[in-house]
Amino acid sequence: MLEPGEVVGLIGPNGAGKTTVFNVITGVFPPTEGEVLLEGRVLNGLRPWRITQLGIARTFQNIRLFREMSVLDNVLAAMHPRCGYGLLDALLHTPRFAGREQAMRDEALALLERMNLADRRHDRAGSLPYGAQRRLEIARALATHPKVLLLDEPAAGMNPTEVDALVELIRGVAAEFGLTVLLIEHQMGLVMNLCQRLVVLDFGEVIARGKPTEIQQNPRVLEAYLGRGVV
């Protein structure tokens, strides 16, 4: 269970089932048992796009941007499901259409500014450096107005300086946007500095929960990561 406003790390060895948890939460896979709840509402059986509408957004372990589209258009694409105008407005370019398009553009530019990407807004998303692509994925997720943000290995491929900056970025946007964050990460420096609480998976089973300092000393966690005979 996630508490509003907290940042929680979901950790475990490769193959433990971490990304599968994200896929279940977001409706990609149906749960084999139990329920996925958001503010008391059962999400089981809902399509991924509907779960996003209700307030759960995610990034991916392997970056999934619209690589041939511009940086700005990647963010705008996430906004159009709640554009606030109909097909007729779009065809006739009514004042409602023009007003909403401008409002979405302004919001998208503000998100890119927050991610230090505004000066790259016209660039092709696939041309961005790796770390910038990661930030663009977060901007696109924020454009859906989530309540819960799921980050799948956001620091993958980053150098230590980029990881430190990412910690501050996630902490800042969580506070600024009132987000609850659940993240999967193998970089323990990020996890220990950022997360208030950790959940540890091994072969699909939760083997530990607690504060980072508690998890560091947990014998079952050490065994799962390092193998039997180390504790």
CA distances from 115 to 4, 27, 55, 194 (A): 23, 28, 21, 18
Residue 190 near residue 163 (C-beta atoms within 8 A): yes
| Predicted confidence (pLDDT) per residue in 120-147, tens digit | 999 999 999 988 999 999 999 999 999 9
Query: Across residues 178-196, what is the average pLDDT?
Result: 92
Predicted pLDDT at 229? 41
pLDDT of residue 104 exceeding 50: yes
pLDDT of residue 227 exceeding 60: no
Query: Across residues 10-17, what is the average pLDDT?
Result: 89
Residue 188 near residue 226 (C-beta atoms within 8 A): no
Which tokens sit at 27?
């409706």
208 beta partners: 200
| Predicted confidence (pLDDT) per residue in 23-82, tens digit | 999 999 999 889 999 999 999 999 999 999 999 999 998 888 999 999 999 999 999 877
Query: Across residues 180-192, what is the average pLDDT?
Result: 91
Residue 9 near residue 194 (C-beta atoms within 8 A): yes
Smallest CA-to-CA distance from 169 within 90, 114, 119 is with: 114
pLDDT of residue 203 exceeding 50: yes
Residue 173 near residue 203 (C-beta atoms within 8 A): no
Radius of gyration of the chain (CA): 19
Q: Please, what are the domains in the chain? A: 7-66+129-226 (3.40.50.300)
The residue assigned the tokens 């663009």 is 136
Residue 150 near residue 168 (C-beta atoms within 8 A): no
| Predicted confidence (pLDDT) per residue in 75-99, tens digit | 999 998 777 777 887 788 888 878 8
φ/ψ of residue 87, rounded to 5 = -60, -40
Smallest CA-to-CA distance from 28 within 12, 53, 9, 45 is with: 45
Percentage of the chain beyond pLDDT 90 is 62
The span from the CA of 149 to the CA of 26, in Å, is 11
Q: What is the DSSP letter of 1?
A: -
Predicted pLDDT at 231? 36
Predicted pLDDT at 230? 38
CA count, 13 A, side-chain hemisphere, 231: 13
pLDDT of residue 155 exceeding 50: yes
Mean pLDDT of the chain: 90
Predicted pLDDT at 36? 93
Lowest mean pLDDT among 80-94, 99-113, 114-128, 195-209: 80-94
